[in-house]
């Protein structure tokens, strides 16, 4: 009897212990399913079954949504890449394969991105996006290096033509980076054809305009004082047309052959700015406009002397036109390091004039753009290409320029960023 009672006690203990453990496990499972509203009237087992069914439904719809996203990416007209924290390509749509000539990618086998796409620009974009955790954009000409593919698959490498591409990168969780790639080759070709047509037209116009200019000068010698007034006006308008044609040709040359057009040399920035200011001193003196420089005394940059002087002559002239009597123009210069860890000089040109119309700001560097007449055109006229030429010269120096209204002076604020040293091309 004692043995029986002892065995019964042990059995009951084991039973209740297992029941307690099972109850604890059910509580843990219910806690993990706490995102779903619980029904207290149901038993714990029934609640678990209900939670599992809801979880299965959620998984189904999540998988469905994921499949939809994958399908959208697959059919996206932009190329899409996803790079993991180890720089391996883990996702790639058909458009990206086509644009970047990716032919040996297998999602089941992880391979380094640079093994599949030999692009220094894209590799730097990935590294910088991961480093600073911000969205970045680049435009570059992609030259497919398909020799290693051709050797194995007997492909003709001459069929691989360079493409002009634009990439948008986005930081993702766990050190991953997503990239969308836009093929801008067709847009570039159409733009080049348009620019070529304008250039050809400008060349054709230059000869008859020069003849008209000489003719107007000759007629002034044989015309009375009353007629000379009209001829002088005609002479000014012809001169403006000549300037317009010449400026358009300069922009075209800078776009097509920047490194053949520019002659780089190391120059003292402060002296270059002073030289540019002296070119407009007479105009500034008429309105008693002052010039001030703030920054390091010796900043040497690799630039084309004539072209870079032209940049600041145009900017100073623009500011003088729209500064009030007794106004001022301030230039600040500072050496900084960009996101690619390269030394650049950041130059600010700030005036206290009338500023820009906010609606015009996105367009002021466009050619022949006519916005706020108080800022874009004056009685002294202009070709309408001054700021476009400035932008083209800066970009030919591998730099950038942006315009806005200064928060303190309320006048125009130009921000220029140019590398201290030009890369060999």
Sheet containing 343-351: give its strands across: 290-295, 328-337, 343-351, 412-419, 400-405
Sign of the four-CA dihedral 123, 124, 126, 131: positive
pLDDT score for 8: 80
pLDDT score for 222: 79
> Would you list the domain boundaries of the chain?
73-183, 188-256, 262-419
Other CB atoms within 10 Å distance of the CB of residue 354: 18
Distance, in Å, from the CA atom of 164 to the CA atom of 181, rounded to the nearest integer, reads: 11
| CA separation, residue 225 to residues 215, 216, 221, 222 (Å) | 17, 14, 10, 10
Is 190 within 8 Å of 247 (Cβ atoms)?
A: no
Angle of CA points 52, 58, 63, to nearest 5°? 125
Q: What does DSSP say about strands 177-183 and 79-83: parallel, antiparallel, or unpaired?
A: antiparallel
Distance, in Å, from the CA atom of 118 to the CA atom of 124, rounded to the nearest integer, reads: 12
Other CB atoms within 10 Å distance of the CB of residue 248: 23
Q: Which runs of consecutive H residues, i.e. helices, occur in 113-163?
A: 113-116, 120-132, 147-153
Bridge partners (DSSP) of residue 419 are: 344
Kindly state which CATH superfamily the domain 73-183 is placed in.
PAS domain (3.30.450.20)
Distance, in Å, from the CA atom of 364 to the CA atom of 357, rounded to the nearest integer, reads: 10
Task: Pick the closest to residue 254 from 368, 392, 133 (CA basis).
Answer: 392
For the chain, the maximum distance between any two Cα atoms, rounded to a whole number of angstroms, is 147
Distance, in Å, from the CA atom of 271 to the CA atom of 301, rounded to the nearest integer, reads: 11
- CATH code linked to domain 188-256: 1.10.287.130
The 8-class DSSP code of residue 45 comes to H
Q: Which residue ranges in the chain fall short of pLDDT 50?
A: 147-158, 373-381
What three-state secondary structure class fits 334?
Answer: strand
Q: What does DSSP say about strands 89-92 and 79-83: parallel, antiparallel, or unpaired?
A: antiparallel
Task: Pick the closest to residue 75 from 67, 64, 87 (CA basis).
Answer: 67
Distance, in Å, from the CA atom of 104 to the CA atom of 85, rounded to the nearest integer, reads: 21
| CA separation, residue 388 to residues 91, 171, 366, 369, 392 (Å) | 40, 33, 6, 9, 6
pLDDT score for 155: 47
Residues recorded for the chain? 425
For residue 268, what are the contacts with CB-CB under 8 A and spacing of at least 6? 298, 299, 300
Distance, in Å, from the CA atom of 107 to the CA atom of 89, rounded to the nearest integer, reads: 8
What three-state secondary structure class fits 263?
Answer: coil
Distance, in Å, from the CA atom of 184 to the CA atom of 176, rounded to the nearest integer, reads: 26
Is the domain spanning 262-419 CATH 3.30.565.10? The answer is yes
Task: Pick the closest to residue 83 from 171, 177, 174, 168 (CA basis).
Answer: 177
Is 155 within 8 Å of 175 (Cβ atoms)?
A: no
Task: Pick the closest to residue 273 from 311, 302, 304 (CA basis).
Answer: 311
pLDDT score for 375: 44
Distance, in Å, from the CA atom of 171 to the CA atom of 173, rounded to the nearest integer, reads: 7
In 176-263, the DSSP E strands lie at 177-183
């Amino acid at each position: 009897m004692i043995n029986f009672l002892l065995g019964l006690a042990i059995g009951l203990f084991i039973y209740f212990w297992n029941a307690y453990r099972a109850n604890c496990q059910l509580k843990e499972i219910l806690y993990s399913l706490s995102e779903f509203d619980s029904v207290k009237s149901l038993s714990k087992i029934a609640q678990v079954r209900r939670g599992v069914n809801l979880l299965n439904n959620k998984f189904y719809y999540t998988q469905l949504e994921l499949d939809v996203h994958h399908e959208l990416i697959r059919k996206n007209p932009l190329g899409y890449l996803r790079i993991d924290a180890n720089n391996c390509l883990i996702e790639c749509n058909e458009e990206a394969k086509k644009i970047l000539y990716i032919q040996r990618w297998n999602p089941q086998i992880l391979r380094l991105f640079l093994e599949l796409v030999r692009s220094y620009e894209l590799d730097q974009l990935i590294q910088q996006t991961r480093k600073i955790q911000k969205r970045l954009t680049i435009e570059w000409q992609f030259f497919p290096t398909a020799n290693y593919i051709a050797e194995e698959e007997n492909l003709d490498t001459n069929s691989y033509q360079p493409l002009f591409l634009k990439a948008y990168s986005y930081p993702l969780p766990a050190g991953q980076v997503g990239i969308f790639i836009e093929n801008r080759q067709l847009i570039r070709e159409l733009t080049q054809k348009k620019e070529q047509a304008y250039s050809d037209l400008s060349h054709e116009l230059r000869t008859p305009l020069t003849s008209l200019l000489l003719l107007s000068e000759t007629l002034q010698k044989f015309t009375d004082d009353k007629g000379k007034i009209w001829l002088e006006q005609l002479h000014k308008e012809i001169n403006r047309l000549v300037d317009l044609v010449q400026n358009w040709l300069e922009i075209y040359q800078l776009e097509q052959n920047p490194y053949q057009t520019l002659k780089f040399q190391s120059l003292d920035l402060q002296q270059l700015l002073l030289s540019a200011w002296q070119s407009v001193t007479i105009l500034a003196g008429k309105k008693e406009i002052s010039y001030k420089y703030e920054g390091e005394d010796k900043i040497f940059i690799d630039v084309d002397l004539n072209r870079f002087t032209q940049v600041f002559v145009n900017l100073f002239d623009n500011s003088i036109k729209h500064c009030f009597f007794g106004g001022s123009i301030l230039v600040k210069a500072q050496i900084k390091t960009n996101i690619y860890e390269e030394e650049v000089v950041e130059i600010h040109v700030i005036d206290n004039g009338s500023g820009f119309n906010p609606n015009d700001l996105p367009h002021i560097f466009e050619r022949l753009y006519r916005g706020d007449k108080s800022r874009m055109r004056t009685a002294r006229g202009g070709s309408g290409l001054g700021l476009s030429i400035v932008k083209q010269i800066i970009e030919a120096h591998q730099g950038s320029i942006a315009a806005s209204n200064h928060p303190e002076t309320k006048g125009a604020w130009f921000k220029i960023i140019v590398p201290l040293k030009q890369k060999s091309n």
